[in-house]
Structure 1
């Protein structure tokens, strides 16, 4: 059977917000702006096409805390996940539907950026966050220098 798995590349319109549920689960939510590039034959150049905004959710099992700690507003990411439709009724009695992407995998795009991944450790061993989202903790940097 064919699934509804999609892969999108776009930019975060804001930093992910994280919330913790009563059962201990966490979810990070963000909006992704996906803009297609189109070739304009009249000017013989590439231009930005329409932008689509997609609401995305990352659950604990897919790295919600890592996403919230790692990705600032504007980050260009590659996300893979399943489209989920949620139906609801407004206070005025109108039926509405919204389409969200339940993220299974996410990573930064290296097309316009450089990243130095650091394997996440248990919360008790996590170093203090740096103001530079791409920096490596000093212990990881020292280990990388030794292994070179």
Structure 2
């Protein structure tokens, strides 16, 4: 498969829209604004170039994590498959052709060159049983519920 993979650096331009498909698969969508910065030697300062907007889609666990982690204006790095869509408006709206650049994200993260972040691992319950490997026992010694991890200690102000 010859997918065009891209890496985009920009800011979240819209709020994340998070929903479930009719099949129950989580999907998240938002717009990413990327602006070229160039050094203007005549004025001796950095200037903004044109801004491009991309629709970013993510699926399943990535969609859930994006919805819980990304807000408008936050600096992001997005990696995924580039899709260029085209269409035509209906005649009552002018009938003009349009093009849209979309990215099916594989990875999304905050741009740590412009701030800090705190990572929190998400634990998800398994919904389908994992079949045992050939020749492996159905249960291994020590299997069972995971040990409980205590909450971080917090001093009381009393």
Q: Which TM-score tier does this pair reach, normalised by the shorter chain?
A: 0.7 to 0.9
Q: What is the RMSD of the two structures over their aligned residues, measured on CA atoms?
A: 2.5
Structure 2 unaligned residues grouped into runs of 5+: 126-148, 154-158
How many residues were matched structurally? 128
**Displacement of 1:88:** 3.3
The aligned counterpart of 1:135 is: none
Q: Equivalent residues in 2 for 1:84-123 (5 A)? A: 84-92=83-91, 95-122=97-124
Q: Comparing 84-93 with 43-52, which one deviates more in the overlay?
A: 84-93
TM-score by length of 1: 0.75
Superposition pairs for residues 1-148 of structure 1, below 5 Å?
Answer: 3-60=3-60, 63-92=62-91, 95-122=97-124, 142=152
Q: Give the conservation status (yes or no) of the 8 Å contact 2:29–2:56.
A: yes
Larger radius of gyration: 2
Structure 1 or 2: larger helix share?
1
Q: Which runs of 5+ in 1 are unaligned?
A: 124-138, 144-148
Deviation readout 1:105-148 (Å, 9 max, x if unpaired): 1100112211110001227xxxxxxxxxxxxxxx78729xxxxx
**Matches of 2:111 and 2:23, distance apart in 1:** 33
